[in-house]
Amino acid sequence: MKNEKKTVNLLSYAHDRGVHYKVTADEIFNLINNYTEQKEFSELYNYFEQYYQLPIRVVKQSIRQHIARSYLFKSGKFNSRLRIKNIPKSILQYGALVYALFFTKRKSSVRNFKLIIDYICSPHELARFEKLLKLVGKDKVLCVTRDINIQQEFPKYHIYNKKMFRDIKFMDLLKSMSSEFFLGVWVVLRVSLKTKVNLFPTTLKIIHSYLSFKSLFEYNKAEYIIQERHYDTDAVKNYLFKESGGIASTSIQKNIFQTDPIFFYIDIDVLFSLGNDGYSRALEYGGRIDNIQPVGSLFMEYYWFNNKYEYNKEYDIAILGINTSNAYERLDSYNEFMEDYYSLYRWVAKLSIDNPEYNIVLIHHNTAGEDKIEDDILFGSNVRVLDKNTNSYKVAFSSRCTITYGSTMGYELNAHNLPTFFIDPGSRCSFLPENGCDYIDKMRVDSYDALQSLMNQIVGDKDIKIVMRESSDMWCLESSEVSNRIYKNFINEKAV
């Protein structure tokens, strides 16, 4: 007699902060897979397949992604919204379907486009796509924002401001409300109680994606859809886009694929990657990516190549900060993380004091928050903090070399012949692959003495060649023609 599978107690999991981050990532990934493969889920999967015509694969991918993003590393537990005690509150949130009745979509004519640029959350994000937009033709592109109105900044573009539970087709909404209030809520409740996890936030997200994107794509047809955040892809959206006649859903690679649950279960037809390597983690951790096309960095094309800055080597060393102070809950996954990360600032502070003749500057993202730990470390040093609104690429290329803990610019700059080193004291940086990747391993710095030796060589005008040209495409492709490469891919894909 075969032993029945034991119930997976998802919410009792807490990772061991003493182990390597890769061990933790594997545990979380396997736990979520095992949890969503339990026989109790068959009723939920069948419900969505019957009443929303969503394939089991799509629903399962969405549930897995939502649960993965709910794990809090620093706290060592899943978000409290998944706890059974929060079910009553979550059920009340289904009232959003009633709210949506007041903002249903009126019947309108169908518009046809070549491209939809989705998930635009600021004017800067749309500006980064302007070159691609002009190649396709502004009248052939629909720009979809999320709860922001940027029509005044871009008066000549077709812009659709997508809001939560707004502009849903009336009949689709009525059908959903009938299904949910008479059956769906009870299905989700039973499965939640059986698996001891509150699934209502997850299923409401699936319902909202279904209703809002079904309406969007039925009235706005397009051949392709693209977005900036590869970690925010949506399996339901991508499925509905293809069902509406779209050829492919796509995304650029915005940043490094970390070994982090936020990058698990990506769902996309085409990923426009930075380079010929660096995306294997997305596939390893549940990603559905049908095609990978290396194109380079859209950010670098926009902020560097499109501006054609003139620059001189006015700095010896530029430190590229990352937005850690706003993300401790996600990044602080092991005991030594704070020690590892702030080694960057301790070492450069000491380097600036030991070598006062070095001109060392620090540039942060313009969205970076205040970091008192960093401020205390750098106080009294010779490291100069630049205005975070300064163009980071200009600062970098105005330097002999750059140093970072995990900035994507490290990949971009190494590919463009500017040596960039990653501070990684214990070979535990989740922004980098595990040891054994030669072209990255030679850019790791694991001690202050190693950093000082490297900087003495570089600043001392010995012009050492660490980054070999033959490996540059592994980091990132030359990025002056990123939009053209994406556009040509659309043309070639359509011709197949």
Per-residue 3-state assignment (H helix, E strand, C coil) for 279-317: CHHHHHCCCEEEEEEECCCHHHHHHHHCCCCCCCCCEEE
Q: What is the pTM of this model?
A: 0.94
Same domain, 213 and 192: yes
- Tokens 């919410």 correspond to 11
Residue 389, Cα to own-chain centre: how many angstroms?
A: 22
- Local confidence band at 380 (pLDDT 50, 70, 90 cut-offs): very high
Same domain, 261 and 312: no
pLDDT at position 309 = 81
Q: Are 159 and 113 in contact (CB under 8 A)?
A: no
Give the residue from 270, 296, 322 where a domain finishes.
Answer: 296
Number of domains in the chain: 2
Determine, yes or no, domain membership for 59: yes
Q: Mean pLDDT throughout 281-309?
A: 95
Residue 223: name the closest of 269, 178, 182, 254 by CA.
Answer: 269
> Tell me, what CATH number does 415's domain have?
3.40.50.2000
pLDDT of residue 2 exceeding 50, the answer is no
Determine, yes or no, domain membership for 458: yes
Same domain, 455 and 362: yes
Other C-beta atoms within 10 Å of 263: how many?
A: 24
Dihedral sign for Cα atoms in the order 48, 54, 56, 62: negative
Question: CA-to-CA distance for 89 and 151, rounded, in angstroms?
Answer: 36
Q: Are 264 and 285 in contact (CB under 8 A)?
A: yes
pLDDT at position 465 = 58
Q: How many CA atoms lie within 13 A of 467 on its CB side?
A: 24
Lowest mean pLDDT of 70-79, 107-116, 275-284, 463-472, name the range.
463-472
Give the residue from 271, 296, 321 where a domain finishes.
Answer: 296
Q: Are 461 and 279 in contact (CB under 8 A)?
A: no
pLDDT of residue 354 exceeding 60, the answer is yes
Same domain, 62 and 182: yes
Give the residue from 265, 296, 327 where a domain finishes.
Answer: 296
Q: Mean pLDDT throughout 432-460?
A: 90
Determine, yes or no, domain membership for 397: yes
pLDDT at position 240 = 98
The DSSP result for 144-193, as a single string, is: EEES---TTTSTTSEEEEE-TT-S-BHHHHHHHHHHIIIIIHHHHHHHHH
Query: What residues contact residue 221 under an 8 Å CB cut-off, 6+ apart?
Result: 110, 111, 112, 113, 244, 245, 246
pLDDT of residue 7 exceeding 50, the answer is yes
Residue 250: name the closest of 217, 272, 235 by CA.
Answer: 272
Q: Could you give the 3-state DSSP secondary structure of residue 226? A: strand
Residue 287: name the closest of 240, 204, 224, 230 by CA.
Answer: 230
Q: Are 115 and 225 in contact (CB under 8 A)?
A: yes
Q: Mean pLDDT throughout 338-347?
A: 96
- Local confidence band at 329 (pLDDT 50, 70, 90 cut-offs): confident
pLDDT of residue 409 exceeding 50, the answer is yes
Same domain, 182 and 244: yes
Question: CA-to-CA distance for 17 and 26, rounded, in angstroms?
Answer: 14
- Local confidence band at 1 (pLDDT 50, 70, 90 cut-offs): very low
Same domain, 316 and 280: no
| Number of helical H runs and strand E runs in the chain | 22, 17
Question: CA-to-CA distance for 411 and 231, rounded, in angstroms?
Answer: 18
Percentage of the chain lying above the pLDDT 90 cut = 83
pLDDT at position 67 = 97
Q: How many CA atoms lie within 13 A of 459 on its CB side?
A: 20
Per-residue b or e along 396-417, where b marks 16 or more CB atoms closer than 10 Å to that residue's CB: bbbbbbbbbbbbbbbbbbbbbe
Same domain, 206 and 271: yes
pLDDT digits (tens, 9 = 90+) for 232-291: 999 999 999 999 999 999 999 999 998 889 999 999 999 999 999 999 999 999 999 999
Determine, yes or no, domain membership for 496: no
pLDDT of residue 189 exceeding 90, the answer is yes
pLDDT at position 367 = 73
pLDDT of residue 121 exceeding 50, the answer is yes
Same domain, 292 and 330: no
Burial label, 430 (beta-carbon count in 10 A; 0-12, 13-18, 19+): buried
Determine, yes or no, domain membership for 145: no
Q: Mean pLDDT throughout 162-188?
A: 96
The mean predicted confidence, pLDDT, of the chain is 93
Same domain, 276 and 351: no
pLDDT of residue 468 exceeding 90, the answer is no
Q: Mean pLDDT throughout 466-472?
A: 63
Q: Mean pLDDT throughout 9-33?
A: 95
Same domain, 187 and 313: no
pLDDT at position 326 = 72
Same domain, 331 and 267: no
Query: What residues contact residue 109 under an 8 Å CB cut-off, 6+ apart?
Result: 219
Owning domain of residue 465:
302-475
Determine, yes or no, domain membership for 216: yes
Other C-beta atoms within 10 Å of 220: how many?
A: 18
pLDDT at position 322 = 87
pLDDT at position 5 = 59
Determine, yes or no, domain membership for 177: yes
Task: Please give the DSSP secondary-structure letter assigned to residue 5.
Answer: P
pLDDT at position 470 = 59
Same domain, 62 and 207: yes
Structure tokens at 133: 């937009």
Q: Mean pLDDT throughout 217-230?
A: 96
Of residues 183 and 371, which shows the higher confidence score? 183
- Tokens 């600036």 correspond to 352
Cα–Cα distances in angstroms (integers) from residue 134 to residues 118, 273, 297, 365, in the given order: 16, 21, 18, 27
Determine, yes or no, domain membership for 110: no
Question: CA-to-CA distance for 393 and 407, rounded, in angstroms?
Answer: 12
pLDDT of residue 462 exceeding 80, the answer is no
Q: Are 248 and 140 in contact (CB under 8 A)?
A: no
Question: CA-to-CA distance for 331 and 333, rounded, in angstroms?
Answer: 6
